[in-house]
Chain A
Amino acid sequence: MKVRIFQATLAATLIFFALLPTFADRYFINYFLLLFMYLTLAGSWNIITGYVGYLALGHASFFGVGAYVSALLIIEFGVFWPIAALAGGVGAAICAAIMGGICLRLRHIFFAIATLAFSEAIRVIVLSWDDVTYGGFGVSIPLYPYLAPFYYFMGGCAVATVLMTFFLARSNFGLRLLAIREDEDAAESVGVDTTRCKIIAFVMSAVLCGVAGGVYAPYITYIEPVSTFSVLITTQLIVMAVFGGTGTIWGPVIGVILLSTMQEIFWAQFPYLHRVLFGALIVGTILWMPHGLIDVLKTRGLLPRSRNL
């Protein structure tokens, strides 16, 4: 019975968002577009950090790589933006495969900072490689004059992310990832090829970030290395996923919705302050509700104690 209500609400929400551009004004369309974007980012990050248990601190780089690949394909080769966006995803996947191949051999504690280092390195490369990336000048993309397509594409990314997580939570592959998270050596000894699984999961966590970046570039029409690869993006997606609850399907969703709303209503007034609050929120969440809001709700009995939530 409860499941039916849940499914009905879900369906209604999807229909609501599908029809939104027909009745809402630009402010809301833009707001939800960015919300979908963060949903994609936070949800993707959740895969490597929540399900595999390896903290990744360099996810902004996948977003950035996606944005740049997309932007450059559009202005240098005239590729139509949705294709360019998908190519952005491919670019991010390749990055993740390389980064993962090198960093996933390390123990958790070093993996985290190694991903941060790679992310920074990519930023510096993009900044310095003027010939290809226009360096600090940034890349300007001609405006595609319709807003709704961007909205739907980003919405598609968000849905894809939730579906990906859903698949992971239910599949044998996902079970193997959990085993790695619980006890990597024991997982090895029961036949889990941990290296291969970790790299696949890492690539999975990067692909949609790249696509989101690939959509963001033509949407915002101008990108440059500082803001596109900013640690702030990583911080924001982390706080949203952690607050909602890593290792769950709906945790990042709730986290994104709640925190974006709060950000929009209160914090955006004080630009520097809200970043400080993010830092404090990460610390606070880890200390007092380490498995996020979803877990608190489960403990209080407001949600069933299923891991498929």
Chain B
Amino acid sequence: MLEGIPVIWLQVLVSGLLVGVVYALSACGLNLIVGVMGIVNMAHGEQLMIGAYITLGVYLWLGTQNPLILLVAIPVTFVLGMMIQKYLLEPMMESLEVGTLLLTFGLSVFLSTGGLFVLSANFRFVPLFSGSLVWGELAFPIARLVTAGFAVVLTGAIYLFLRKHRIGGAIRATSQNAEAASACGIDVRKIRILAFGLGSAMAGAAGALVSTSYAFNPDIGMTFILKTFAAIVLGGMGSFVGGLIGALILGVGEAMAAYITTAQIAEMFAYVILVAVLLFRPNGIMGIKKT
């Protein structure tokens, strides 16, 4: 079966999937927040950026090549997310959505410019891995393979948590109908804080993974949140699996676009997808229309 397809396409496809899985982590995190909180966290991309810088920091401080340092970003961004929800967003929960959105926008500006102020605008990188895995005519950087593996495990773990664990169930219930959930004895406020923390942690984890394959600086937040948004729109906002599918398609699409045209045009791919979906199928692939 493999003979018919030119090898290069296989390379592109798998590369795209490897990246897509990391996007999926971020997308599922944002979907979680949208589902439970009803808002888009504009600072989601900055959480990702923070995850990258934490990893960099740990890497420089410990001076080790151990891949496990990738996990450090998770608890940190988790706590950060919970604090943001608890102190900044909870007081706003009753008021107009515009205010809450604006607040997260302001936060996003604060974090990214704060990063520029405190750190430098130079692009950084975490060289945890080197070399590539060669398989016949295909070659994949170890960094991408390992991070994709991490991403799959983490996304799978979150999925199982949401499906099987009691608290995961509470989160899903709250995102479907907060009032009903509250009536069932669920402390909706705590769930929101938890969910925001979880969503942020997923972004942070994605950031940690990204840091080993791509150069990053405090400004990358915006690019990533827009790509994440394109992924969840494509997959259907509010759907966990939709976010996953959308992210994978985005990853593969970008890889293909980069191969066919230039890297610059490939950057546009996410936006093209966004416009196309909004025009033709606003509910996305797995669209859940929230009444």
Contact = CB atoms under 8 A, between A and B. Distances in A.
Is there any pair of Cβ atoms, one from A and one from B, under 8 angstroms apart in the complex?
Answer: yes
Interface of A: 49, 53-55, 57, 102-103, 105-106, 108-110, 112-114, 116-118, 120-121, 124-125, 127-128, 231, 235, 238-239, 242, 272-273, 275-276, 278-283, 285-287, 290
19 contacts: A102-B275, A108-B97, A108-B101, A109-B34, A113-B40, A114-B278, A118-B271, A121-B274, A128-B268, A231-B109, A242-B102, A275-B116, A276-B114, A279-B108, A279-B112, A281-B106, A282-B105, A282-B106, A286-B106
Contact of B264 (A106, A128, A242): A128
Interface of B: 34, 38-40, 42, 88, 91-92, 95-99, 101-103, 105-114, 116-117, 222, 225-226, 229-230, 233, 237, 264-265, 267-268, 270-271, 274-275, 278-279, 282
A54 B98 CA distance: 7
Which among B101, B114, B264 has the greatest number of chain A C-beta atoms within 10 A?
B101
Instruction: Identify whether the interface residues of B are mostly helix, strand, loop, or mixed.
Output: helix
Given A113-B40, A275-B113, A279-B114, A106 B102 contact: no
Contact of A117 (B39, B114, B226): B226
A242 B34 CA distance: 24
Contact of B271 (A53, A120, A283, A286): A120
A279 B229 contact: no
Contact of B229 (A108, A117, A275, A282): A117
Given A108-B97, A114-B274, A231-B222, A276 B113 contact: yes
B113 A124 contact: no
Given A116-B222, A121-B268, 8 more contacts: A54-B98, A109-B38, A121-B271, A239-B106, A272-B113, A275-B109, A280-B110, A283-B106
Contacts of A238: 102, 105
Nearest to B232: A110
B271 A278 contact: no
Nearest to B108: A279
In the A-B complex, the 7 residue pairs with the smallest Cβ-Cβ separation, listed nearest first, are: A282-B106, A279-B110, A279-B109, A121-B271, A275-B113, A283-B106, A272-B117
Contacts of B268: 121, 124-125, 128
A125 B237 CA distance: 26
B278 A49 contact: no
Nearest to A135: B264
B103 A273 contact: no
A279 B279 contact: no
B156 to A, nearest CB: 27
B109 A278 contact: yes
A57 to B, nearest CB: 6
Given A106-B282, A112-B42, A53 B109 contact: no
Contact of A276 (B99, B110, B274): B110
A53 B278 contact: no
Contacts of A124: 264, 267-268, 271
Contacts of A108: 97-98, 101
Nearest to A239: B106
B12 to A, nearest CB: 21
B222 A120 contact: yes
Given A279-B109, A279-B114, A120 B226 contact: yes
Contacts of A116: 222, 226
B105 A57 contact: yes
Contacts of A109: 34, 38-40, 97, 101
A108 B108 CA distance: 18
A110 B237 contact: yes
Given A109-B101, A287-B88, A117 B40 contact: no
